[in-house]
Amino acid sequence: MISLIEELIERKLGKSQVRMWRRLRRNRNIKVGGVLVLGFIFMGLLAPWISPYDPLRGKLIESLSPPSWKHLFGTDIQGRDILSRVIWGARTSMIVAFFSIAIAVTAGTLAGSVAGFLGGWVDNVVSRVVDIMLALPDILLALFVAAIIGPGLENVILAIALYNFPQFARISRASVINIKQEDYIEAAKAIGERDVSVLLRYILPNSLAPVIVHATLRTAASILTAAGLSFLGLGVQPPTPEWGAMLSDARTYLVTAPYVWIFPGLALTLTALGFNLLGDGLNDVLNPRIEV
Amino acid sequence: MANVARYALGRLLLSIPTLIGVTILVFLMIHFLPGDPAFFLAPPEATLEEVERIRKSLGLDRPLYEQYVTFITNVLKGEFGKSIITGHKVSELLWPAYMNTLILSVFAISISIILGISLGVLASLNPNTLLDQTVMSVSLIGVSMPVFWLGLLLIELFAVKLRLLPAGGSGSPAHLILPSLTLGILGSAYIARVTRASMLEVLNRDYVRTARAFGLPEWRVILVYSLRNALIPVITVAGLIFGYMMAGAVLTESVFAYPGLGRLIVNSIFARDYPVVQAGLLVISITFILVNIGVDILYAFLNPKVELR
């Protein structure tokens, strides 16, 4: 079945794309990372159907029951099923990661490529702002935003988008400046293509590879930072199931019920590991400099 | 040498706009908050007259750029105002916390360097063996692990199961072990990966092959000829990680209830103690920027080939 699908995919692709596709498939990091990431996305998307219990409602009589056939991961202090909360936690993390990275990639690529393409004072202004933002570490920018606009799901997304923005701006600026000097861009300009269409049709598509690799790696870091903010109480608020917040709740009965904090942490680690492996693998395949 | 000094000076000058940018950002924080800044800087139980007095004394009724000049003058004098909750001078709260974070980071980076370099060298000397793959896999898991979860795991193991170390708090050297181990293990994962890559590159260089061809003992080839050169990028990365530890120790400090700067800031955010939040963020940012400059200069000093601009 799988080989049939693979054959169909290969038939659709051009010759060089087939080679790329085969290299992607052969890379072990991509395989393992891909499986972990797919598992995470699967959990997040299907949470309402696959979680055995309501993640928000528990029976107090079952408070802190250890893992059993009824509750595979046990229950928390309010008697809520931990497996269900871990599954729903994937959905929360997925929402935060997807929207924050999407905003950061869009805004960053736009600002970076316009700066790289136009040069001059536009480039100067964008680059200085990016420099200042990059001079501050991730968690600090996130704390900064949390201090101003307060906690909550949307605010976490905003905080994480904000600290990822300058990285994507810098990467796409660099690759646009590189590509700008290629012959085919000169050619496009020579036949009278307008600036906007040169940027959109020729430069942007060719500058995407490093952005994709970085976005994958940043997703791992962003999921961890979002969980960290929630752990500190500055992120997603209870009773929303969120892995970092679950770990924070569990601290009070660390000794008596280790199963309360083991599983959310494991889920976080495996998810971040998946995105890191996938990012490393994509980097090996898409970034030909490594092979030299 | 003169070159490096000139580079260091240039690097410091170049960082001035960034430093000013950060102070503007921290200064504006109070004004980003929805509402009247004077209320955020006044104690919660202040009367309207007291709020007005604070508005006057801080110059909040004057134009923004004048307020900024006042703010920056006070910062340069080391005056951050008073905590609106406890009434203590902010600087009196800040420095003990800063020293605690500094001590924690120094211990953590030492663990990272020792552990990371040993593992990285070990892996690079046996490339593509089981040992190498294990080191690389474990370090990747280390990079992916949330630091607060690692902290909980270590508490479970050393404080709950083995009863060897305190689970949190401060006051004795024993209280430092688990937090610095937590931060340090995380850093060692990065350092091991960089060391391995750097060693593999150096081991293929001509001078290493020549040293071997001359029949020098293997330990000399590795320790003197290879490692010394391979360490240059490692030192840079270690410096950057140290900066991140100073700035990002907040999660570790929170797990272990360690009275560092990050925890002070988070607690002050919850207490809406904005003078402390402002001062804390400012001090951390400046430290982070200065550490990065230091790393750049050190790199230039260690690697004479680097292009000095």
pLDDT for A9 beyond 80: no
Which residues of chain A lie closer than 8 angstroms to B152, CB-CB?
247, 250-251, 254, 261, 265
Q: Kindly report the nearest CA distance between residue B217 and chain A, in angstroms.
A: 31
A142, A202 contact by CB (below 8 A): no
Mean pLDDT calculated for residue range A148-158:
87
Q: How confident is the model at residue B205 (pLDDT cuts 50, 70, 90)?
A: confident
Reply yes or no on whether the pLDDT at A2 is more than 60: no
Instruction: Please tell me whether the peptide bond between A239 and the residue prior to it is cis, using omega within 30 degrees of 0.
Output: yes
* Tokens (6 digits) for A172: 């796409």
A240: left (phi over 0), alpha (psi -120 to 50) or beta: beta
Q: What is the DSSP letter of A184?
A: H
Q: Tell me the sheet residues that pair with A75.
A: A81
3-state secondary structure of A57: coil
Q: Which range among A11-20, B85-94, B128-137, B227-236 shows the weakest confidence by mean pLDDT?
A: A11-20
* Minimal CA separation from A278 to chain B, in Å: 12
- Interfacial B residues in 60-119 facing A (CB < 8 Å): none
Which residues, at least 6 apart from A13, have a Cβ–Cβ distance to it below 8 Å? A21
Ramachandran sector of residue B215 (left: φ over 0; alpha: ψ -120 to 50; beta: rest): left
Across the range A53-69, mean pLDDT stands at: 78
CB contact under 8 A, A269 and B144: yes
pTM of the entire structure? 0.86
Asked if residue B306 has pLDDT above 60, the reply is no
Amino acid at A265: G
Q: Does A277 touch chain B (CB under 8 A)?
A: yes
Between chain A and chain B, how many beta carbons pairs sit less than 8 Å apart? 117
Is 80 exceeded by the pLDDT of residue A265?
A: yes
Return the pLDDT at B309. Answer: 45
Residue type (1 letter), B68: Y
Q: Which of B145, B149, B269 sits opposite A234 (nearest CB)?
A: B269
Q: Which one, of B262, B101, B108, B97, lies nearest residue B180 by Cα?
A: B108
- Report yes or no: A125 at the B interface, CB cutoff 8 Å: no
By the 8 A CB rule, do B260 and B205 touch? no
Q: Which of A135, A220, A231 sits opposite B18 (nearest CB)?
A: A135
Picking from B232, B234, B146, the residue whose alpha carbon sits closest to that of residue B190 is B234
B201 and B230 in contact (C-beta within 8 Å)?
yes
Chain B residue with minimum CA distance to A254: B156
Phi-psi region of B87 (alpha: psi -120 to 50; beta: other; left: phi over 0): left
The token pair at A193 is 């293509």
Residue A5: C-alpha distances to residues A10, A35, A115, B164, B228 (Å): 9, 17, 42, 56, 51
Q: When comparing pLDDT for B301 and B23, which is higher?
A: B23
pLDDT score for A165: 92
Give the pLDDT score at A292: 31
According to DSSP, residue A136 is labeled S
Residue A137 token pair: 């570490």
Interface of B with A in 255-294 (CB under 8 A): 255, 265-266, 269-270, 274, 277, 281, 284-285, 288-289, 292
Average pLDDT over residues A185-200: 80
> With an 8 Å Cβ cutoff, are A265 and B144 in contact?
no
In chain B, residues with a C-beta closer than 8 Å to the C-beta of A251 are 152, 255
Confidence grade of residue A203 (pLDDT, cut at 50, 70, 90): confident
User: Three-state DSSP class for A108?
Assistant: helix
Q: What is the pLDDT of residue A78?
A: 78
Return the pLDDT at A11: 66
- Residue-range domains of chain B with CATH: 2-76 (no CATH), 90-302 (1.10.3720.10)
Cα–Cα dist B40/B84, whole Å: 9
Give the residue-averaged pLDDT of B148-159: 89
Determine whether the interchain pair B251/A135 forms a contact, defined as Cβ–Cβ distance below 8 Å.
Answer: no
What would you report as the CA-atom Rg of chain A, rounded to the nearest whole angstrom?
22
- Of the given ranges (A21-35, A59-73, A101-115, A271-285), which has the lowest mean pLDDT? A59-73
Helices then strands (H, E): number in chain A?
A: 13, 0
| CA separation for the pair A186, A154 (Å, rounded) | 43
Chain B residues closer than 8 Å to A147 by CB: 29, 269, 274, 277, 281
Q: How many residues does chain A have?
A: 292
Range with the lowest mean pLDDT among A11-25, A270-284, B140-154? A11-25
pLDDT exceeds 50 at position A290:
no
Poorest-confidence range of A20-24, A72-76, A193-197? A20-24
Residue B100 pLDDT exceeds 90: yes
Query: What size, in residues, is chain B?
Result: 309
Q: B77 vs chain A: nearest CA distance in angstroms?
A: 23
Q: Is B142 on the interface with A (CB under 8 A)?
A: no
Nearest-Cα residue of chain A relative to residue B35 = A148
* Secondary structure in 3-state letters for A61-83: HHCCCCCCCCCCCCECCCCCEHH
Higher pLDDT, A143 or B72: B72
Question: pLDDT higher for B34 or A44?
Answer: A44
| Interval A119-127 mean pLDDT | 88
| For testing contact with chain B, the best of A266, A273, A278 (most B CBs within 10 A) | A273
Does pLDDT of B40 surpass 90? no
Output A208 or B98, whichever has higher pLDDT.
B98
Report the distance separating Cα B31 and Cα B199, nearest Å: 50
> How confident is the model at residue A3, as a pLDDT?
62
The pLDDT, as a whole number, for residue B183 is: 93
- Residue B103 has what pLDDT? 93
What is the average per-residue pLDDT within B69-75? 85
pLDDT, tens digit, for every residue of A210-224?
A: 888 899 999 999 999
Which residues of chain B neighbour A276 with C-beta distances below 8 Å? 140, 143-144
Q: Provide, rounded to the nearest whole percent, the portion of chain A with pLDDT above 70.
A: 92
Instruction: Supply the mean pLDDT for chain A.
Output: 83
Specify burial of residue B183 (Cβ count, 10 A radius: 0-12, 13-18, 19+): buried
Cα separation, B190 vs B222, in Å, equals: 21
Chain A nearest-CA distance from B79, in A, is 21
Could you give the percent of chain B with pLDDT greater than 90?
24
Using DSSP, state whether A255 is helix, strand or coil.
Answer: coil
Q: For A231, which of B18, B247, B251 is closest by C-beta distance? A: B251
Q: What is the ipTM of this complex?
A: 0.85
Give B159 or B119, the one with higher predicted confidence. Answer: B119
In the prediction, which pLDDT does B305 show? 61
Give B247 to chain A, closest Cα distance, Å.
7
- Cross-chain Cβ contact A140/B281 below 8 Å: yes
Q: What is the pLDDT of residue A223?
A: 94
Instruction: Please give, one letter per residue, the 3-state secondary structure of chain B.
Output: CHHHHHHHHHHHHHHHHHHHHHHHHHHHHHHHCCCCHHHHHCCCCCCHHHHHHHHHHCCCCCCHHHHHHHHHHHHHCCCCCECCCCCCEHHHHHHHHHHHHHHHHHHHHHHHHHHHHHHHHHHHHCCCCHHHHHHHHHHHHHHHCCHHHHHHHHHHHHHHHCCCCCCCCCCCHHHHHHHHHHHHHHHHHHHHHHHHHHHHHHHCCHHHHHHHHCCCCHHHHHHHHHHHHHHHHHHHHHHHHHHHHHHHCHHHHHHCCCCCHHHHHHHHHHHCCHHHHHHHHHHHHHHHHHHHHHHHHHHHHHCCCCCCC
Mean pLDDT of all residues in B255-282: 88
How sure is the predictor about A10, in pLDDT bands with cuts at 50, 70 and 90?
low
Torsion angles phi and psi, residue B82, rounded to 5: -115, 150
